[in-house]
């Protein structure tokens, strides 16, 4: 099962880093769901989280991913 999660990770990282994050940081949007790439990112995260839950792993969230970026910049 972990190989399926690992297969999704590059898609999640690219969608988050090169689409969603840039849209969110532009300041044009008040809610995550207003970003054009939100639905794609959410679908990828939801798919990964189903398997993560089965394996007892911590789930991913957009909020936690944004916090990680914020903490890395400090």
Q: How many CB atoms lie within 10 A of CB 17?
A: 12
Of the candidate ranges 38-42, 49-53, 56-60, 69-73, the one whose mean pLDDT is the lowest: 69-73
pLDDT tier at 1 (50, 70, 90 boundaries)?
confident
- pTM, two decimals, is 0.92
Distance CA 51, CA 55 (A): 6
The answer to whether 23 touches 37, Cβ cutoff 8 Å, is: yes
Q: Which residue is associated with the tokens 């054009």?
A: 36
Q: Tell me the per-residue pLDDT of 22-48, one tens digit each, with 9 for 90 and over.
A: 999 999 999 999 999 999 999 999 999
**Alpha-helical regions (H) of 16-74:** 21-25, 38-55, 62-72
């Amino acid at each position: 099962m972990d190989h399926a999660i690992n297969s999704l990770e590059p898609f999640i990282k690219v969608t988050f880093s090169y689409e969603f994050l840039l849209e969110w940081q532009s300041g044009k949007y008040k809610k995550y769901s207003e970003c054009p790439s939100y639905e794609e990112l959410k679908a990828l995260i939801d798919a990964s989280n189903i398997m993560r839950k089965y394996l007892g792993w911590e789930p991913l969230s957009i909020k936690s991913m944004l916090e990680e970026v914020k903490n890395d910049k400090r």
